[in-house]
Structure 1
Amino acid sequence: MELTASVQTMRSSIMQTFSHLHEHPETSWKEEETTRFIVQRLALLGLQTETFTDCTGVIGIWEPEEATVRQEPLTVALRADIDALWQSVDGEWRANHSCGHDAHMTVVLSALEILKKAGYRPPGTIKVIFQPAEETGEGALKMVEKGAVEGVDYLYGLHLRPIQELPDGKASPAIYNGASLLVRGEVQGLTSHGARPHLGVNAIEAAAAFLQTIQNIHTNPMIPSSIKMTSIRAGDENSTNVIPDYARFTLDVRSQSNQTLDEIYEKIQSVARCTAEMYGAHITLQPDGRTAAAEVHDEAKACMRQSIQDVLGQENTAPDVITPGGEDFHFYTLKHPHIKATMLGLGCGLTPGLHHPHMQFNREALVSGAHIMARTVIHTFQKGEST
């Protein structure tokens, strides 16, 4: 079986797949045409497919031939996110694939096609997860609910990396995304006349004290973390002589560790209770959106690294990518800790940056990315057979 020959014959097909997906973006939970397209492509490749009545997304299953099955067969899964962003592009608000999810879908579909074209006969099950709503941080949890990773032993994802993190032509065997948490908060005080502040509870003063105090929260300095108040609204510009009794704010909380993020949130809650008591106010906090930090497994990373070296060479195998950006891929391992997982970081000359409305990259990276993912599947089964 020679993958390289199969890859060389597929360049045109890979580019066509990407062009279709790029030209038909759909936002989170609305990826209906995208879902249909993927189902059709998986069916052409002979995979079983599963879709859902209450959400978008597809699970594809490539069952092994009976003669190839080992005594304890592995299940190896590949995951791609399928949603686009809603953003202003040249003054027009529309769905736009500026985070590379069109590329991720293309790479996973093409990796399957490479394996099929090369006549690969997996000794276990290959599962592919085309997940909706990554941008909202909800899609992976929905796929977990649907049983997408039940029985999965190894799980691989990928993400295009901006040029500031990885140069074009290089790839990394792991992406260490940070954990993030959005917190919505409210301060309830007591209104009074501006001339009699002692009769009221100023929600702005309580919010300011809360902000100042959370900046003094300390955790392990070896683990990058941050707390930012990203919005605050209080008072009325037309009633400047009134002590405001209500304030609303949001916090953006991040850490490279899931445990540290939990620790920070507990301390934020403690600060809220103490500040409320000191000012005689009432402060409520509501977590609203979380992504998990990466839990990378060494065995999965080793298989990915070997594949990168096979395709791009040792000189283009980059160190792990460490980034504060969030990625809901890591909910799969958070909910199923036994899964051995990693994400491919694909250098592709991506500029100006992820989520920029005019994001662009070298599309030749799609070919090498698909080749790397296909080889990773093979290396993973080989590793399983040798243990």
Structure 2
Amino acid sequence: MELRKLTNQQLAEQLQPIFEHLHKNPEISWNEVETTAYLVDFLRQAGLEPQTFNDMTGLYVDIGKGTPTVGFRTDMDALWQKIDGTFQANHSCGHDGHMTVALGVILLLKELEPTLPGAIRILFQPAEEKAQGAKAFVEQGVVDSLQFLFGAHVRPLMELKEGTYAPALHHGAAKLFTGEIHGVEAHGARPEQGANTIEAAAALIDGLKRIWISPAESASIKMTQIQAGGTSTNIIPGNASFSIDARAQTNETMDALTAGFKKTVDAVSTLYDVSIDYNVDAHIAAAQVDDTAKSILKQAIIQVAGEENCAPEVITPGGEDFHFYTYSKPQLQTTMLGLGCGVTPGLHHPEMTFNQTYLPTGAEIITKALVLALQQTERSDTK
């Protein structure tokens, strides 16, 4: 099957104004209202029928006939950052580029639509930066029919050489705990009558350091915020609030960190006679890369960009909401394309930039992978 009729240059010319619009109109998580409207309008003009939601931003669209078994997901939201002294939405994680790749994929698939052996679903997911969008899409049943799901992310130079492409991104897991310590206030002269929440917080910090993880595993857990006491210095503080950031390269190691954190909370509560309440405000699952999906994406990279530009898999400590799809749907076969496009100074830096000229090639690679995966699912169905 011929991948496309559009040349790379023609595709680049069509994608340039798209990227410029998306880059200049960033919107933060769950507020991607105008972005959703822009994408819906684009897709309808392309003769497609995008599906939106009544209670949230984001959308998806199917190309081809029948029930989709293969999909590509892009994120939509921007970060909230201080730029030139003013806080504002800012696309410093490359989601503007990811959406541009997705629309390039749609342009290429539209040319192939009459010959596609089945249907492909393109997902425009909100709230990746809050680690909430994938969960919402799972709950909406958006990925229920899919066997393969691909993603993509621009990569910094320290991870991927410019002009190269990786068939898998091994992101780590992350959890954000927030909580409160409830003790008893007392006069500073009578500490024995109170339960000092600052001392309990200090013990909690010390306990976190004693959660032992195998040195062969990459992991960390640490307190990142603590607030306790008021303006009076002669009062034993009876309440404190805290935040804890946990990171691990695998989901199993994150489970071990979580179990250690719970034991530490129980021990400190007993020792200092305080109560500690906490919530998991965010949970980002580690990558669970599927070998077949990775093989398909590697084949697509080689066919489109050449074997010399196919880079090794990337292991990165950063997190990605994409991996919640496999975490919640273990049967889903997933991998992410690492797009080496010279990201500098780095992801989430307020002045982050990258070379947009690689976006059309990224779209071609993803399109090729989707077609290869669709052909595989069709062969499996005929056996």
Task: Calculate the TM-score normalised by the size of structure 2.
Answer: 0.94
Aligned mates of 1:337, 1:160 — CA distance in 2: 25
Q: Say if 1:46 and 1:62, in contact at 8 Å, map to a contact too.
A: no
Partner of 2:56: 55
Q: What RMSD in Å do the two structures reach over aligned CA positions?
A: 1.7
Aligned mates of 1:85, 1:240 — CA distance in 2: 38
Q: Say if 2:28 and 2:78, in contact at 8 Å, map to a contact too.
A: yes
Q: Say if 2:63 and 2:110, in contact at 8 Å, map to a contact too.
A: no
Partner of 1:288: 281
Aligned ranges for residues 156-167 of structure 1 at < 5 Å?
156-167=150-161
Partner of 2:14: 13
Partner of 1:230: 224
Aligned mates of 1:125, 1:4 — CA distance in 2: 17
Which of the numbers 311, 317, 337 marks the counterpart of 1:318?
A: 311
Amino acid at match of 1:255: A
The alpha-carbon deviation at position 4 of structure 1 amounts to 6.1
Amino acid at match of 1:314: E
After superposition, the C-alpha distances for 1:51-104 in whole angstroms (9 at most, x for unaligned) are 111111111011328xxxxxxx86110101111112111122221111111110
Aligned mates of 1:7, 1:274 — CA distance in 2: 64
Which of the numbers 81, 88, 93 marks the counterpart of 2:82?
A: 88
Secondary structure at the aligned position of 1:273 is classed as helix
Secondary structure at the aligned position of 2:245 is classed as strand
Which of the numbers 355, 363, 369 marks the counterpart of 1:370?
A: 363
After superposition, the C-alpha distances for 1:256-296 in whole angstroms (9 at most, x for unaligned) are 22232122212211111111111112222221111111111
Aligned mates of 1:229, 1:120 — CA distance in 2: 55
Aligned ranges for residues 64-213 of structure 1 at < 5 Å?
64=65, 75-117=69-111, 121-213=115-207
Aligned ranges for residues 270-349 of structure 1 at < 5 Å?
270-349=263-342
Aligned mates of 1:344, 1:120 — CA distance in 2: 26
Secondary structure at the aligned position of 1:169 is classed as coil
Partner of 2:249: 256
Secondary structure at the aligned position of 1:59 is classed as strand
Aligned mates of 1:110, 1:7 — CA distance in 2: 12
Q: Say if 1:192 and 1:200, in contact at 8 Å, map to a contact too.
A: yes
Aligned mates of 1:60, 1:4 — CA distance in 2: 20
Quickly say closer, same or farther: Cα 1:347–1:56, change in 2 above 3 A.
same
The alpha-carbon deviation at position 384 of structure 1 amounts to 3.2
Amino acid at match of 1:347: G
Amino acid at match of 2:291: D
Amino acid at match of 1:308: I
Q: Say if 2:19 and 2:96, in contact at 8 Å, map to a contact too.
A: yes
Which of the numbers 348, 351, 362 marks the counterpart of 1:355?
A: 348
Aligned mates of 2:344, 2:164 — CA distance in 1: 15
Amino acid at match of 1:6: L
After superposition, the C-alpha distances for 1:21-52 in whole angstroms (9 at most, x for unaligned) are 11111111111111112112222333332111
Q: Say if 2:27 and 2:77, in contact at 8 Å, map to a contact too.
A: yes
Amino acid at match of 2:30: W
The alpha-carbon deviation at position 211 of structure 1 amounts to 0.8
Aligned mates of 1:271, 1:228 — CA distance in 2: 12
Aligned mates of 2:113, 2:287 — CA distance in 1: 34
Secondary structure at the aligned position of 2:6 is classed as helix
Runs of 4+ in structure 1 over 6 Å off: none
Q: Say if 1:269 and 1:285, in contact at 8 Å, map to a contact too.
A: no
Quickly say closer, same or farther: Cα 1:61–1:115, change in 2 above 3 A.
closer
After superposition, the C-alpha distances for 1:99-118 in whole angstroms (9 at most, x for unaligned) are 11111011011012123235
Quickly say closer, same or farther: Cα 1:197–1:365, change in 2 above 3 A.
same
Equivalenced residues, count:
379
Residue 384 in structure 1 maps to residue 341 in structure 2: no
Partner of 1:44: 45
Unaligned runs of 5+ in 2: none
Aligned mates of 2:131, 2:40 — CA distance in 1: 23
Aligned mates of 2:104, 2:264 — CA distance in 1: 51
What percent identity do the matched residue pairs reach? 46
Quickly say closer, same or farther: Cα 1:187–1:106, change in 2 above 3 A.
same
Amino acid at match of 2:347: L
After superposition, the C-alpha distances for 1:200-237 in whole angstroms (9 at most, x for unaligned) are 2211111111110111101333221110110111123x
